[in-house]
Each structure stands twice: as structure tokens, then as C-alpha cells.
Amino acid sequence: MKYKIALAKTDEGYSVSVPGLPGCWSQGATEAEALENAKDAIMSYLAVAHEILQGTEIREIDIAG
């Protein structure tokens, strides 16, 4: 699975946000570290989302016109 990220250079290193996952942020001293930390943040985010949604009916909708 792929997610788009926003990577920004900061005074402390790099920050990463995941626009498709509100509140999913990470950082690292180097770009490589920030990207690895982003992978961990995404996995943790998805695990929590899965736990929260247990017992609910999940559906997909097509928004294309």
C-alpha cells in the first residue's frame, strides 16, 4: 500500500505528515530516518484505526462521476 507524504526540511531535520491520515505526523534527524519513522507512524495509525472500527460495517463508495 502506498501513501502520499509531505516531507519538509526543518532546523532539527525533517518533518513528515500524511495528508490522507489526519494527525499522522513524524520526524527524523535525516531524510532517511524521517521516512522510516513515517512508515512506523502510518502502521501505528492504521492499527489504531482498525481497532476502533472493529464491530462496525465497513463499505466502499465510488465518488467518480
d(CA 38, CA 48) in angstroms, rounded, equals 15
| The pLDDT of residue 65 is above 90 | no
**Tens of pLDDT, residues 32-56:** 999 999 999 999 999 999 999 999 9
pTM of the model: 0.83
Half-sphere CA count of 50, side-chain side, radius 13 A? 6
What are the domain boundaries of the chain? 6-53
CATH of 6-53, one of 3.40.640.10, 3.30.160.250, 1.20.1090.10, 3.40.190.10: 3.30.160.250
